[in-house]
Amino acid sequence: MAILSVIWGVSNLVYVSIKKKKVDLSKNKDKKEKPKTPDLSYLNEFERGFTQALQTISRNWAGKGERKKGKNLYALPWFVVLGSPSSGKTSLIVESNLKFPLAHLFSQEDAKHVQPTKDVDCWVTDEAVLFDVAGQFVEHVNGQQPDSKETYYSGLWRRFLKLLRDNRPRRPINGVVLCLDLSELLSLSSQERTTKAALVHARLSEMTEVLGTRYTVHVVLTKFDLIDGFHEFIGCLAAAERAKPFGFTFDLHDGRDQDKWLDEFNSAFAKFLDDLNNTVVDRLSEMRSAHQRRQLYLFTREMAGLSNILSSFLGKALHQDKFSTAPHIRGVFFSSARQEAIPTNPVLLATSQKYEIAAPILPIHSGPSKQYFSASLFDQVVFKEAGLAGDNIKIERAKRFALVGSGLAASLLYVGFFSTYWVGYENNRARADEVVDITESFEELFQQGPDKNLNASGQNYIRPLGALTSASDIFGNYRDRNWLISQLSLYQGYKIGPEVEKAYVDMLARYFLPEVAAYVRNEIAALGNDETSKDSNERLEALRVYLMLGDASRRNELLVKSWMEQKWQEQFEGDLKLQKALLDHLVFAIETAGLEAKLDKDLVETSQRDLREVPRDLRLYRNIEQVSDRQLASPVNFRNDIGPAYNIVFSGTGTTAHDDQPIGVKQFFTKDAYLDYFVKMNDGLSVVAVEDAWVADERDTVEYSQADLKEFRRKIASRYATNYISNWNDALNRLEITDFRNLDHAVDILETLTGPDRPLNRLINRVKSETEIYESKLIELNAEQAVNSDLPFDIYREQGLRVRRAFSNLNGLVEAEEGEKAYLEDLDAALNTLYEYLKDIRQAGERSGEVALARAKARIDLQGEDPIYTLKRIGVDLPSPLNRFFAKLADQSWKVLLQEAKKELQRSWNEEIYADYNLNYAQLYPFNKQAEQEIPLEEFESFFGPGGKIETFYKKNLIVFVDEATGEPKTIDGRHLAIAKEFQDNLKIILDLRRSYFNSEGLIGVEYNIQPISLSAKLRRAVMNIEGQIISYSHGPRRPIRVIWPNVLTNEAESSLSVFPAGRGRPHTTTFKGPWSGFRLLDFATTKGFDSNGALIEFSFNGQKATYSLLHKGASSLARKQPLSGLILPAKM
């Protein structure tokens, strides 16, 4: 029970804190939500007045209720009296039978003298507090201009509601007394009444929204006396009835029937009219004056007309909408607190308007003012229903939530208190079991021994070390744990953590770190076995790391980590997990545990002896450069300097073809590093010398004097300048203009070079900014200085100017005297000329190939403008790398020009030659031996002959690119037209047809000899007729006969062979017609072989044979080569 009491008290304390925090947040929110107005002084003044009034009420309260600060404000009900200006609100209050005990404190002693309400007047009675609100509060319209009166009263109205809510949050008000000027309602038009009803509804809705409570509403129809005939009506009532409240009260309804009060009002008002008519009938006979009777009757008509007006107005003003909670409408009452104004008669007014006559002028009441129906309205009706108002919904909901929440919180705390210990116990037991499991696996892995790896660098023990790390991670870092939280959660890491860590450190010291040291030792030994790396920087650096692994006092952890990290990256590329694990173990070993590895002294001494053979100044320089590699990590990057144009213009990316790193120079060789790093390191050479002596084991044998250090500085500065120049030259030499893929690519590259990005200019400017380390200026000598004295010139300036001189030619391209332009601009002009030259070809569109071919021919013939040669010639005298850039640009431009020319040649060949041959001739004889149709001789001559299509194409387009003697492409300015070997061979064959089928005069003509050789025994004679040329043979002497083709230049040409059998058998004849008939006859024969005289052909007729020898005159046998048979023109050049 004691625990429960404590938990309950804690929950209540939490609730009070939360409630106070919510109140503060609400106040802060209200402060943030204050409307921004040009002048807030009137709002602040109004708030001060309201606060003072509440303080007065609270301070002077002596009735029942709590005296605690603020609580006595709930002792009396609060009511807000609303109404339009001059609607009789204040008169209704002061003319009631209420007592105002604090009138003297609110300057209300002369209350009967009614003054217009400025904003809000507070009337404190014995039964309630009434807030008399100025009529302008009701009639303002939201959304007006900031400087308007509407905004003034709108701000006051919102501030008034906020003050009510803040000072009585639980129940801001108990009700509203809504005063409506009855005579005003009668005088307004229908539209005006609708507007007034909307304003009333808006104010009531705002009150509900801001205050969050459901209050009562009592409607008071004031100035009843201004209805003409009122006094005659009063005369019908007894004195007691005149003092009582006069009106209608309604039943309470739930949320679904909120508008039923309007039905009750209509019913009650109808009954009132019936009773009024009955009373008038009884009273008319008793009245002697006709005027009084007329007035009383008119009063009944006026009231009857008022029924619909009131019903419509009240329905619109007090109806329940779907966006807010409607208040309790409790009743509608009539009152006449004073009789001071001129009455109105809506019946007579309407009649006069209808008939366009003057409205009657009614007399004002001349007697003293009296209270009719208002004296006891507040104490008998309004105040008695103060308890019907509901509390603020949000406050009540928060209280219920807090009550339920505190109970739940107490329960949860109670359950959580014990659950925490249980969970902590189970969690720690599970962790301990997991540590035991990992320990068992560690022992199993350890017993298995390390992996067999000859080049191990720590990875052999990665698995058991990982097991120990996992065990250590189970309880986390016990050193960072909060002691109190650890005790509450039964944390066991303080016991288990140190034991696991001890085993981990022990394994690092006995196995991991020695293996890492052995790896470094092997690296040193391997480098020492190679004469080229025996005294290299790599071996010096490895020896330094090795010595640091064995000496924690001299250890540079950053150096060791970066060296091993690089080696692991090279060894286990792509295995990020293994690399990270190895590095984590190393960091713990050398930084956290401070472990040292046992070194191989013999290896150390041998390595140190080798390194001592390296000149000391070189070793010192290497030390400075190696330190810079670790500390200076922002190299010059040509890609960044040149910008996006780099990837377009340049193809060089690294030291090797497979290196995709951008070309650049490491930061050590920059102007800033020269001045801010190298100079300081070289000046502080004694520190570097001490470390070098430690690595080379010269601390006990060498002691440098200041003269030694000075000489070292001079030599190191000279080496640095040499390497500075070399590194920049190497980087520039690796830059290369990318190869032009085609004409479009070439134009794009040249456009980039000549465009606003100006990559060459950026490149040279970067080189200039990094190589002009010191200004080049003469040293002023003192006249008193001795002639042979040393010049006031330091070594750094000397070497810096040496660097400047090495790049002066390149840097000078962007320099210009005043009024002149830099030479690079002239180079840009040459580039721009080449760009325009190639761009004109591209812009030619479909004629681009034709233009390219024409310009290629012109360039070969040394005709016209040649910007390619101009650029090449200019580049010869330029400093590197621009000389290479310009030579490459010229060469690549010539290459794409030849490419475009070849495309045009290919197109012309395909359209003019290849397509013509394949469509018209390829299927004709003699190209197709099986074809029936033959190519006409004139077409054969016009296509293949001298001056024919093929020869014309060759001489017009190809002859400038081809060596006529060999038929191979000519090399022109380092390049040739890329013509396929197959095309060259076929073209040569086609051109040779001119010699085979045409004579020296260019006319078609072939001469050959044909000689009979033999006839079969069963044949007695053979007669061959070739276009009228007869070769007859009949087993006699053989002699060659000369044959000319063509012998008949008509299509009537005929060739035949007739053989006559022995005896009287019929001869066998084979005949062919046409200009190619002689060749067809020869094709009919079978070639049997070749002898010294020519080809042997054999004709066969039913097994009987005739053999002839065929020899061309002055040429090799066409029968042997048959150049036209199956002739195929190549498609691709």
Lowest mean pLDDT among 797-811, 1028-1042, 1043-1057: 1043-1057
Of 1110, 897, 918, 1113, the C-alpha closest to 999 is: 1113
Name residue, tokens 């690296």. Answer: 523
Same domain, 148 and 290: yes
Same domain, 174 and 278: yes
- The verdict on residue 905 lying in a domain is yes
- Please say whether the dihedral angle defined by the alpha carbons of residues 444, 450, 451 and 452, taken in this order, is positive or negative: negative
Cis omega (within 30 of 0) for bond into 881? yes
Report pLDDT digits (tens) over 235-283: 788 888 888 898 999 888 776 667 788 889 999 999 988 888 888 877 7
Same domain, 164 and 307: yes
Q: Which two tokens stand for residue 473?
A: 């991670």
Name residue, tokens 């350890």. Answer: 446
pLDDT at 479 over 90: no
- The verdict on residue 51 lying in a domain is no
Same domain, 185 and 304: yes
**9-45 burial, b for 16+ CB within 10 Å, e for fewer?**
eebeebbeeeeeeeeeeeeeeeeeeeeeeeeeeebee
- The verdict on residue 411 lying in a domain is no
- For the residues of 976-1007, what is the DSSP string, one character each? -----HHHHHHHHHHHHHHHHHB-TTS-B-EE
Of 414, 389, 404, the C-alpha closest to 329 is: 389
Range of the domain at 1082: 1006-1121
Lowest mean pLDDT among 385-389, 925-929, 951-955: 385-389
Same domain, 734 and 841: no
| Mean pLDDT across 1004-1030 | 89
Q: What's the CA gap between 713 and 621, in Å, rounded?
A: 9
Q: How many domains does the chain have?
A: 6
pLDDT value at position 112?
Answer: 62
- The verdict on residue 733 lying in a domain is yes
**Maximum Cα interatomic distance, the chain, rounded to a whole number of Å:** 185
Q: What's the CA gap between 667 and 631, in Å, rounded?
A: 10
Q: What's the CA gap between 982 and 1130, in Å, rounded?
A: 8
pLDDT at 12 over 50: no
- The verdict on residue 424 lying in a domain is no
pLDDT at 434 over 70: no
| Mean pLDDT across 122-145 | 81
Say what percent of the chain tops pLDDT 70. 77
Cis omega (within 30 of 0) for bond into 879? no
Same domain, 79 and 224: yes
Same domain, 244 and 299: yes
Report pLDDT digits (tens) over 591-607: 888 888 888 888 777 77
| Mean pLDDT across 966-977 | 84
Name residue 941's amino acid.
E
pLDDT at 357 over 80: no
**Per-residue confidence band for 422, with pLDDT thresholds at 50, 70 and 90:** low
Report pLDDT digits (tens) over 34-90: 444 445 677 888 888 888 888 888 888 766 544 444 556 788 899 999 998 888 888
- The verdict on residue 434 lying in a domain is no
- In angstroms, what is the C-alpha Rg of the chain? 60
- The verdict on residue 43 lying in a domain is no
Say if CB 744 and CB 772 are below 8 A apart.
Answer: no
- The verdict on residue 18 lying in a domain is no
Residue 991 neighbours by CB distance under 10 Å: 16
pLDDT at 348 over 50: yes
Same domain, 980 and 1034: no
Same domain, 342 and 387: yes
pLDDT value at position 1056?
Answer: 93
User: Which of 614, 638, 658 marks a domain boundary?
Assistant: 614
pLDDT at 132 over 70: yes
Lowest mean pLDDT among 19-33, 461-475, 888-902: 19-33
pLDDT at 426 over 80: no
CA atoms within 13 A on the CB side of 356: 0
User: Which of 875, 898, 920 marks a domain boundary?
Assistant: 920
Q: Is 181 helix (H, G, I), strand (E, B) or coil?
A: strand
Lowest mean pLDDT among 93-102, 104-113, 903-912, 1110-1119: 1110-1119
pLDDT value at position 468?
Answer: 67
Say if CB 597 and CB 550 are below 8 A apart.
Answer: yes
Say what percent of the chain tops pLDDT 90. 16
User: Which of 868, 885, 920 marks a domain boundary?
Assistant: 920
Same domain, 575 and 619: no
Say if CB 738 and CB 649 are below 8 A apart.
Answer: yes
Contacts for 114-118: CB closer than 8 Å, 24+ residues apart: 114/90, 115/90, 116/85, 116/86, 117/89, 117/90
Same domain, 333 and 473: no
Report pLDDT digits (tens) over 1059-1069: 999 887 889 99
pLDDT value at position 732?
Answer: 92
Mean pLDDT for the chain overall: 79
Same domain, 680 and 550: no
pLDDT value at position 221?
Answer: 92
